[in-house]
Amino acid sequence: MGKSYSSDLRERISAHVLAGYSRREAARRFGVSPSCAIKLVQRVSKTGSAAPAPQGRPPGAGKLAAYLTTLIRWVDEQPDITMPELAKKLEQNSGLKAHPASLSRILLSADFRYKKTADGVGVRTR
């Protein structure tokens, strides 16, 4: 995903257009595409701000979010459970298929860490 232009440049383009210049003239002057200047001025007129919109998905809205408390309980009951075992248990209890990597990511977001003990057995801890 591309990076947005700096706030300073966005403000200068917006101010140039508000000063009476065309959007395409502003694009030429500041070295951006005409599409960028047009969309920027539309955004300013719609929202009142030249700030870029947030990028990416909002956190916590995945399909596993509803099952987070259940997953935490299962891991607390059996700290050495593997992710494939946890995926299988989730599918048996709720019918939801989830990749082991997805389960690992959601447990990491819940502050779980994977720690190996001296005998080489891994345990998930908070």
pLDDT tens track for 21-30: 999 999 999 9
The domain in which residue 15 lies consists of 7-47
Closest CA to 103 of 64, 61, 57: 64
pLDDT in tens, 36-78: 999 999 999 999 999 998 888 777 678 898 999 999 999 999 8
Sign, CA torsion 44/47/48/54: negative
- Going by the DSSP 8-state scheme, the letter that residue 100 receives in this structure is H
pLDDT at 99 over 90: yes
Tell whether 88 is covered by a domain: yes
Decide: 32 and 8 in contact? Cβ < 8 Å.
no
In a domain, 104, yes or no: yes
Same structural domain for residues 75 and 107?
yes
**Mean per-residue pLDDT of the chain:** 88
What is the predicted pLDDT for the residue at 58?
76
Beta strands in the chain (DSSP E): 113-116, 122-125
Give the global pTM.
0.53
